[in-house]
Structure 1
Amino acid sequence: MTKKEWLLILSSSFLFSAAFPPLPLGFLAYFFLFPLLIALEDASPRRGFKLAYFFGLVSNFLLLYWMAWQFFYGETWVLPGSIGALFILAIYPGVWGWLYCLIKKKLGNWALILAPFLWVGLEWIRSLWEIGFPWLDIGYTQTNYLSLIQFASLTGISGVSLWVIFLNIFFYLLVEYRKNLFTIISVSILIVMLILIPYLYGRKALSEPVSSAKVKVALIQGNIDMNVKWNPRYLHHSLETFYTLTQKAATENPDLVIWPETSAPCYLAYEPFYFDWVKNLSDSLNIPIVLGTDDYQTIEKNQYVFYNSVFYFQPQQGLADKYYKMQLVPFAEKLPLSGKMRVLNKIQLGQANFSSGENYTLFDSPKGKFATLVCFEIAFPDLVRKFVQRNAGFIVNITNDSWFGKTVGPYQHAAMSVMRAIENRVSIARCANSGISMMADPYGRIIEKTGLFERVNLIGEIPLKNKETFYTRKGNITALVSFFLSLVFLVLAKFKR
């Protein structure tokens, strides 16, 4: 690549990366594509792939470096896989660059109109199947601008991503045709409308009252050190920490106590002493407790199926229900397709070899039904939507973000809860071992939140869901339209001489 191309690629990568949390620079997302589009102006499809691939690769290293952070906790096996993932994920923007240049070559400036749909279609594909990783959807850059993204209740995050890319295209056109007065005026009007309409819709939405029915939750942020969390000698210490914090939280009479993912770092159902300890705690306080632990089932002699699990204890009932995590982290919790191809079961990359749950389990509480998603599951809009469709009155997300360390990872992860709340008009209580724990109302407004690496209780009230959104009812129509529209244009480009 030439020096100019390197400069343009790096500029796009830095703008893209700086727009994501925790930096309050989401507006940079409106311009990140501009340098890349300049680099692609005369590029062949093959070169377009190369340029956009390097944009993706640099962006991934800037935004996803936390993937390898477990290396610093002694998990040296994660390094090769994490670096490999950064290279693999860069293929998606690479394909976008290839398709954009292909269509531009055959259909000219129609490529600019199609570019946002191509982008959103590829974001959607990146979320599919067991290898799905929808982490860096460009729509997440806007979670600080609640007035602008309330329309996600209609379109989901895909609509927000589409909106951001269209803004990029229009700003590019302003500069590209700066000598054409008619184009400048027309595009300027489009930009104003593209910002004003979502803003007015958002202001109206934010003025609507939330449900008066509320549930009081206590989020127990134990902040257990990752260096000792899975050491059996520290099991008692870990559970005692949550036990003590829960007793303190109980003085404020919460309706539900929530512990984070793997807060019981053992197979709790097979640890009678600690199982009874949690059960008796729930009984004595007369408060339900939801917590994360591991679980397994015996399918044949010496053959077991393991799950990343959620246990729900009800006063005087003991273990009332359990949920098995459905969307597992690829290559960390499960090797993709290993359940379908036996040969993959023999490959060991240090993954946990969990199995995926199959049931959309809702827990019954005195204040209504709720779903508890585990960690990475909150990144999947359709998964959350299906729980809400089944009448979840609020969503709980438990996670252990300790292995992110003091990186941008926890902030990126927390922003997803804001988007899921808006999409479904449902409150979300997020409990993290080391932070960020928080509560968001159905419009994405943060009610309370903690910092990182604090041992603290977070107690507050969240409104129950009182309406169903278009997105909840119909799903990700925006992504499907984007995908099929892209296919139509690709067919047209193929047959264009």
Structure 2
Amino acid sequence: MRILLAIATGVLLAISFPRFYFGWAATFALIPLLFALEQPGNRSSLVSLKVAFRLGYLAGLVFFLLLLYWITFLPQENLTIPYAMFPALLLMTLYLSLYPAVTALTSVWLARRGAPLGLVFACLWTLFEAVRGSGMFGFPWGSLGYALAPYPHLIQFASYSGIWGVSLWLALISGMVHFYLSLPWSSKKVGLLVAMMVVLTIPYAHSRVVLSARQPRAAVRVGLVQPNIGNNKWQKAVRDSVVTVLLEQTKQLADENINHPPDLILWPETAIPARLPREAFYRFRVEDVVTQTNVPLLAGFPDGEPLSEGGYRFTNSAGLFLPNQGMVNRYDKRHLVPFSEFFPLPVLNRLDFGQSNFSSGDKPGVIDNLSQPFGVLICFESIFPGPARELSREGVRYLVNLTNDQWFGDSAAPTQHFYMNVLRAIENRMGLARAANTGISGVIDPYGIVRERSTTFIQARMLVPVELGRELTFYARYGDWILWVTGGLVFVFWGLGRRYL
């Protein structure tokens, strides 16, 4: 029975995310695992630490296998080892499942010393999610709070707490329900029921107040080009045609809006399959179109800077082109994807799995050459709260996300990736425009509401208003303060449990 309960938690967590869109399941997804950590028929007795670890690990295995199945969609032509994506999915799942396993183990250890299991579990779940999303191997994909990204009318408080506050809220709902059901009937249950209703309803009420008080904001007009180019763009035989598609789409977008031209046009991540600053033929073509349309362009491209000691320093970059001026500013991606864009362990660099060999940039993606400065997030960077917050503190007025999600195929990954940007918009209260090679491209307003979006694997272009940020949010100013509060709650619940339970 305990095994089935752990599996149920894994399934409920997985269906909380797109494409299932059962975000409501995230409010009670952790409850089955919590009951699995108790001995059958005796809720005051807990399983051993070894069993707790195994149950948490099983829940994690089920969750991450179902959530990250799209890793197997990685095109085989990009791999030097056939079918390497299948062991990659397995290894990644085995690693990520350690976090719910350690959460379960630590929660049982504390519960044996008087802490209420459900409440400390909720706090530890949030803390270990934050640990999972940090550092060189950080991967916050599937963090509980992202399950509510399609429902911005519930999560406006993220402008204070960030993504981890949303995760804590959802985990606490599960923890409080478990705690309530575990207590014998007494006046304490009435008070706990009232507390549960308060925790459940305050964020919704706050969001209603915030959304009803919205005022029109100043906006810039941003053009998005979704070229829908296949992975064969890296072949020399098709590079010219790829560049031609981008230039034609850009000219058409400008011509369609000649009376009210865009303030900026975005191309996706590595849209140009050439080292644009160093390959004059392609750079001149881009500069010519920018001058013809008289519209600034932010273009994604790979670059390779020759080093004095030999070899190249490769980067995943974005450059701003201005009419009659060429490229005037650029950003080199800083937060690279481990094992895809670089190997985090130098000893493994000799192995060739088809990965890139990019180097990280050394400065944030602030582009301040236009009337309204904006911040650039390339692909993977938008799933982390830190880079966008840093850009907000640097004074940008809106965010742009350039990405190429073609690798994910027709899976849930492009949708999951797109909706994580909702949290970045709310956390920093500024609009976000997104250009994706095969979709999803679109615009999100400062309240996390998706104002326009494309579908996947079609060629598209659109002109969207991107609302500007006004002042730093509480979250932008103070960052992940909620994690310190969450850590403190662990000790508060432990102390109260030892005294009153």
TM-score by shorter chain over 0.5 = yes
2:126 to 112, 120, 143: 120
Change (3 A) 1:352 1:491: farther
What displacement does 1:490 show?
9.4
The C-alpha deviation readout for 1:279-309, integer Å capped at 9, x for no partner, is 1111111101111110122232322211111
Task: Select the residue among 185, 202, 206 that pairs with 2:211.
Answer: 206
Corresponding residue to 1:268 among 265, 276, 288: 276
State the partner residue of 1:277.
285
Which residue is 2:196 aligned to? 191
Correspondence for 1:378 among 379, 382, 393: 382
- C-alpha change, 1:164 and 1:489, in structure 2 (3 Å) is closer
How far apart, CA to CA, are the structure 2 residues paired with 1:480 and 1:319? 43
Aligned mates of 2:491, 2:274 — CA distance in 1:
48
Partner of residue 179, structure 2:
173
- In the alignment, which residue of structure 2 is the partner of 1:88? 95
Give runs of aligned pairs for residues 97-176 of structure 1, distance below 5 A.
97-109=104-116, 111-176=117-182
- What CA distance in whole angstroms lies between the structure 1 residues aligned with 2:488 and 2:139? 21
Q: Which amino acid aligns with 1:272?
A: A
Structure 1 residue 204 displacement after superposition: 1.6
| Distance apart, 1:440 and its partner CA | 0.5
Distance, in Å, in 2 between the alignment partners of 1:210 and 1:299 is 51
Name the SS for the 2:456 alignment partner. coil
1:255 shift after superposition: 0.9
Q: For 1:212 and 1:5, locate their aligned partners in 2 and report how far apart those are by CA, in whole Å.
A: 52
SS at 2:342's partner residue? coil
Shift of 1:365: 4.7
The whole-number CA distance in structure 1 between the counterparts of 2:386 and 2:495 is 28
Q: What is the CA–CA distance in structure 2 between the aligned matches of 1:486 and 1:133, rounded to whole Å?
A: 24
State yes or no: 1:456 paired with 2:464: no
SS at match of 1:38: helix
Name the TM-score, length of structure 2 as normaliser: 0.92
Instruction: Name 1:238's counterpart in structure 2.
Output: 242
Q: Please tell me whether the aligned partners of residues 405 and 439 of structure 2 are also in contact (alpha carbons under 8 angstroms).
A: yes
Q: Is the 8 A contact 1:20 1:141 kept in 2?
A: yes
Match among 438, 447, 455 for residue 434 of structure 1: 438
Deviations 1:457-493 (A, max 9, x none): 1211111111210000011111233346658999999
Letter of the 1:96 partner, please give it: T
8 A contact 1:215–1:367 mirrored in 2? no
Partner of 1:13: 10
Q: Which amino acid aligns with 2:204?
A: Y
Asked whether 1:471 is paired with 2:475, we answer yes
Partners of 2:225 and 2:319 in 1: CA distance:
15
Q: Distance in 1 between matches of 2:25 and 2:419?
A: 17
For 1:234, the aligned partner's letter is: V
Give the equivalent residue in structure 2 for 1:225: 230
Structure 1 residue 345 displacement after superposition: 3.3
Preserved CA contact (<8 Å) 2:329 2:369: no
Which amino acid in structure 1 is aligned with residue 153 of structure 2? S
CA distance in 2, matches of 1:490, 1:435: 47
Q: Secondary structure at the match of 1:223?
A: coil
Distance 1:482 1:299 in 2: 47
Which residue of 2 is the match for residue 401 of structure 1?
Answer: 405
Distance change >3 Å, CA 490–CA 128, structure 1 → 2? farther
Q: Indicate the SS of the match to 2:363.
A: coil
What is the CA-CA distance between 1:374 and the residue it aligns to? 0.4
Aligned counterparts of 1:73 and 1:481: Cα–Cα separation in 2: 47
Residue number in structure 2 paired with 1:294: 302
* 1:131, distance to aligned residue in structure 2 (A): 0.9
Q: Name the aligned partner's letter for residue 139 of structure 1.
A: G
Deviation at 1:417, TM superposition (A): 0.6
Alignment size in residue pairs: 483
Residues 187-209 of structure 1: CA distance to partner in whole angstroms, max 9, x if unpaired?
Answer: 33122211221112111211233
Q: For residues 262-289 of structure 1, what are the alpha-carbon distances to aligned partners after superposition, in whole Å with 9 as ceiling and x for unaligned? A: 1001211222111111111111111011
Question: What is the SS of the residue equivalent to 2:113?
Answer: helix
Question: Cα–Cα, structure 1 residues 454 and 183, in superposed 2: closer, same or farther, change >3 Å?
Answer: farther
Instruction: Answer whether contact 2:269 2:299 (CA < 8 A) is retained.
Output: yes
Is 1:306 aligned to residue 311 of structure 2?
Answer: no
Say if 1:113 and 1:490 are closer, same or farther in 2 by CA, change over 3 A. closer
Mapped contact 2:118–2:174 kept (Cα < 8 A)? no
- CA distance in structure 2 between the aligned counterparts of 1:416 and 1:168, rounded to whole angstroms: 22
Query: Where do 1:314-333 residues align within 5 Å?
Result: 314-333=322-341
**Deviation per residue, 1:13-71 (Å, 9 max, x gap):** 11111111222311110111111011111211121111101110111110001122114
Deviates more, 1:475-484 or 1:120-129: 475-484
Aligned to 1:257: 265
Instruction: Supply the distance in 2 between the matched residues of 1:297 and 1:81 (Cα, whole angstroms).
Output: 31
Does structure 2 retain, via aligned residues, the 8 Å contact 1:295–1:308?
Answer: yes
Tell me if structure 1 keeps the 8 A contact 2:8–2:59: no
SS at match of 2:301: strand
Q: Which amino acid aligns with 1:128?
A: S
1:363 aligns with 2:367: yes
TM-score normalized with structure 1 length: 0.93
Structure 1 counterpart of 2:91, which letter? G
Question: Aligned partners of 1:451 and 1:288: how far apart in 2?
Answer: 25
Take 2:307 and 2:279, find their aligned partners in 1: how far apart are those partners? Answer: 20
SS in 2 for 1:197: helix
Counterparts of 1:480 and 1:67 in 2: how far apart (Å)?
34
Partner SS for 1:373 = strand
Q: 1:353 to 1:418 in 2, by over 3 A?
A: same
**Contact (CA 8 Å) 1:328, 1:356: kept in 2 or not?**
yes
CA distance in 2 between partners of 1:406 and 1:135 (Å) = 18
Percent of aligned pairs sharing the same letter: 35
Structure 1 stretch displaced more, 184-193 or 73-82: 73-82
Q: Tell me the equivalent position of 1:27.
A: 24
- For residues 147-172 of structure 1, the C-alpha deviation after alignment (integer angstroms, 9 at most, x for no partner) is 22100000101000000000001222
Which consecutive residues of structure 1, in runs of 5 or more, have no partner in the other structure?
Answer: none
Q: How much has 1:173 moved relative to structure 2?
A: 2.8
- Distance in structure 2 (CA, Å) of the matches to 1:318 and 1:208: 43
User: C-alpha separation between the residues in 2 aligned to 1:113 and 1:11?
Assistant: 20
Counterpart CA distance in 2 for 1:407 and 1:26 is 18
